[in-house]
Structures are given as structure tokens and as C-alpha cells.
């Protein structure tokens, strides 16, 4: 099987990889690029654990083939912080104890960032619908929603 050569940007760095035709972006991230922060909970687009941003758009990386990444800019959970400074979504997740096992957390943080980039002041209902594609089996979502709203407030410059 011949491999496809792909050039794209991952977390701000130009990246090249070779992938099989059946490899997803998630496979490439996890197996070839060592970026295991994106998780596979289902492989079918139903859990959101593999959420990444592709050209700023929220995507389930398990549903996108590696070969489709050519020329795109991908942001994964590893690229959300600014160096060692946590993004407000990350620090508010910690402050509000919005994770238990933490397996859904990378996907939820990426999805929350996408939400707040698009809508800086979501209502609770808007936020809950936006995040409905990200399953969390541990928390019951309550503290996640608290963290989302606190991060929104912080990003709007309101004191948390």
C-alpha cells in the first residue's frame, strides 16, 4: 500500500507525515506524531474525545482521514496553552474541578475553546447544546458548565 505524503501545520509548527489511506487524523496524531492528548473513545464521531480544531473549526479527528489534512492548520489539546501558560479554559477546568478521570477533558477543552471563540457569551443552553457532542461519563456535566461560564467571563475580561 503506498502512503500519502501530507504537509500541514500542527499546533503552529509545519509538520510532514506519511499516512495510509485508512489512517485518520486521530491515528496520525496519536501514533505518528506522538500527540496522545487527543483520545479515542469511539472512533465513530459519537463521543468527542478526539476533538481538534482544523482551520479553527471543531472536528472529530477520528472522522477525518490523514490525507485530508494537506494544507490545513490543526490545533490539538497540546496546542491550547500558550507555552507554559494555561489557557483560561484549562485553568477554569482545574479551578472548578470539571474533571474526574480526565479522559474526556482534552476534547471538552478543545470544544469549549471553539465555542468561546465563536460565541464569547453563551447562555447555559447554548453551551450545553454546543458541548452535546462531547460525552463525559464521570461528572454529570455540572462542574464542566461552571468552568465553561467562568472561562467565558475570564476571556471577556470580567473578573472570575
Which parts of this chain interact with ligand FES (CB under 6 A)? 40-43, 45-50, 60, 62, 99-104, 136-139
Strand pairing report for 13-19 and 57-60? unpaired
Q: How far lies 146's CA from each of 14, 35, 59, 82, 139, in Å?
A: 36, 28, 24, 23, 12
CB 62 within 8 A of CB 26: yes
Distance CA 138, CA 99 (A): 8
Pick out residues in 15-74 that bind other proteins (CB under 8 A). Answer: 20, 22, 30, 35-44, 46-47, 49
CB 35 within 8 A of CB 76: yes
Shortest distance, position 109 Cβ to ligand FES, whole Å = 11
141 binds, among other proteins, ligand FES, none (CB under 5 to 8 A by kind): other proteins
Q: Is residue 136 close enough to count as binding other proteins by CB under 8 A?
A: yes
CB 58 within 8 A of CB 110: yes
Residue 84, C-beta contacts closer than 8 angstroms, at least 6 positions apart = none
Q: Is residue 155 close enough to count as binding other proteins by CB under 8 A?
A: no
50 binds, among other proteins, ligand FES, none (CB under 5 to 8 A by kind): ligand FES
Q: Is residue 94 close enough to count as binding other proteins by CB under 8 A?
A: yes
60 binds, among ligand FES, other proteins, none (CB under 5 to 8 A by kind): ligand FES
Where do contacts with other proteins occur on this chain (CB under 8 A)?
A: 20, 22, 30, 35-44, 46-47, 49, 76-78, 80-81, 86, 90-91, 93-97, 99-106, 109, 125, 127-129, 131-145
Amino acid at each position: 500500500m503506498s502512503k500519502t505524503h501530507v504537509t500541514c501545520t500542527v499546533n503552529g509548527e509545519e509538520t510532514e507525515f506519511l499516512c495510509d489511506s485508512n489512517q485518520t487524523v486521530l491515528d496520525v496524531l496519536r501514533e505518528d506524531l506522538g500527540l496522545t492528548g487527543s483520545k479515542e473513545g469511539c472512533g465513530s464521531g459519537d463521543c468527542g474525545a478526539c476533538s481538534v480544531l482544523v482551520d479553527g473549526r471543531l472536528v472529530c479527528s477520528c472522522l477525518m482521514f490523514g490525507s485530508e489534512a494537506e494544507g490545513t492548520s490543526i490545533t490539538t489539546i497540546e496546542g491550547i496553552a500558550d507555552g507554559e501558560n494555561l489557557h483560561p479554559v484549562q485553568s477554569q477546568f482545574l479551578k472548578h474541578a470539571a474533571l474526574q478521570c480526565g479522559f474526556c477533558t482534552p476534547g471538552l477543552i478543545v470544544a469549549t475553546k471553539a465555542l468561546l471563540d465563536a460565541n464569547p457569551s453563551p447562555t447555559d443552553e447554548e453551551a450545553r447544546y454546543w458541548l452535546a457532542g462531547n460525552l463525559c461519563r464521570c461528572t454529570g456535566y455540572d462542574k464542566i458548565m461552571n468552568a465553561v461560564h467562568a472561562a467565558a467571563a475570564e476571556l471577556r475580561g470580567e473578573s472570575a
